[in-house]
Amino acid sequence: MSFIPFGKPSFDEEEIAAVADVLRSGWVTTAARTLEFQKLFAEYTGSQYALALSSCTAGLFLALKCLGVGEGDEVIVPPLTFAATANVVVHCGARPVFADVEAATGLLDPAAFMRAITPKTRAVIPVHLYGLPVSTEISKIAAQHEIPVVGDCAHATETRRDGIHVAKEARIAAFSFYATKNLAVGEGGMIVTDSEELFEKASVLSLHGMSRAAFDRYSEKGFKRYEILEAGYKFNMPDMNAALGIEQLKRIDRHLARRNEIWKRYDEAFKDLRFLRPPAVPKGVVHARHLYTLRTPGSDRDQIIAKLQQDGIGSAVHFGALHLEPFYRNLLGTRRGDFPNAEAISDSTFSIPLTPYLSDEEVGRVIQAVSAL
């Protein structure tokens, strides 16, 4: 029996052809495909502006930079997330301040967020973990304290509340198109915003600090003299990735429907097991179904992962609590006990395969293996 990897993208012939077309066109870096992908993604999220980038990490970093986050500033982040969410704060020279997550959902806890606010707080990065949106209280509290929200939408490509994309609850939101994400182009990301000023700043910073004239190189307008306005970065998305992104976006509803099907089968099959299943989805919310995570009531999580591996099923931990990682322990002096909800989830959680490319038979094998644990 073949191994079922935890996350494996799969591309059809049309997607492969779209990339091949770019290769044949002779222009493989940022050009027409990237501009088109940006336009389509802005429409998909209902945003005024979208900027395609090399990663979500680049997007989160640029968002903070554009908001002026720097030395002496604090940015509030949950400890239960991928390292990038906190790392970008450090890259800006600012200090990440962890605020614990809700025990039931793993999402940033509004009360903990409120307690973490100080006069130095310059931004908050809520993470829509696993595809479920954070409480609406987060943006309310942020607005009351005039703290800009930078949305970490790495898991939330499809997440909506009452029909409105959750990215709209942030000043700037960043998406990931990494290989295992719901929309996968290998490596890539996107930021969206309704602020023209932030979009312009981010555009310039994303490409060496070159003035807008430089972007005309990508169009029929041809070369124009540009100026270097800042020591910018190199975060642009190449057209090959954008071509794949356009194709993946066409498939997003179909893929989400398949994710929902698998999710329902898992939920039904695991009803009577000892594991805690993912929390219910509030009314009006579209869950992106990015990760199906179970929690063991025992202390046997690592054995569970090893056992699944033996049975030919890949699984993963989302996530190890960041405040217990050596770097953050050293930087912030954090330790076990500081964020009990994040720690409890971090110690007990395991994610099982959930991609639209799983066959019914493979889903059956995952169910069998989990049921036998």
Interface residues toward ligand PLP, by CB under 6 A: 55-57, 81-82, 84-85, 127, 152, 154-155, 176, 178, 189
Closest separation between CB of residue 181 and ligand PLP, Å? 6
250 is catalytic: no
326-349 burial code (b ≥16 CB/10 A, e <16): eebeeebebeeebbebbbbbbbbb
Distance (Å, whole) CA 127 – CA 119: 22
233 phi, psi to nearest 5 deg: -115, -175
The β-bridge relationship of strands 49-53 and 189-193 is: antiparallel
Q: What angle do CA 270, 271, 276 make, to 5 degrees?
A: 75
The overall longest dimension of the chain from CA atoms, in Å, is 67
H or E segment to which residue 174 belongs: strand 172-176
Strand order in the sheet with 164-165: 164-165, 160-161, 285-286
What is the smallest separation between the CB atom of 288 and ligand PLP, expressed in angstroms?
12
**Which residue out of 168, 181, 271, 307 is catalytically annotated?**
181
Nearer to ligand PLP, 156 or 369 (CB): 156
The position carrying tokens 């908001």 is 67
Q: Which is nearer to ligand PLP, 180 or 211 (CB)?
A: 180
Nearest-5° Cα angle at 128, 123 to 130: 150
Within 10 angstroms of residue 13's Cβ, the number of other Cβ atoms is: 8
Of 127 and 313, nearer to ligand PLP (C-beta) is: 127
Q: Min. distance of Cβ 105 from ligand PLP in angstroms?
A: 14
- The smaller minimum CB distance to ligand PLP, of residues 169 and 362, is found at 169
Task: Specify the residue, 65 or 365, whose C-beta has the smaller distance to ligand PLP.
Answer: 65
Minimum Å distance from CB 319 to ligand PLP? 8
In degrees, to the nearest 5, what angle opens at C-alpha 178 toward C-alphas 173 and 183? 75
State the nearest-atom distance from the C-beta of 20 to ligand PLP, in Å.
24
Angle of CA points 290, 259, 161, to nearest 5°: 60
Residue closer to ligand PLP by CB (options 85, 241) is 85
Q: How far is the CB of 93 from ligand PLP (least distance, A)?
A: 19
Just list the catalytic residues.
Answer: 181
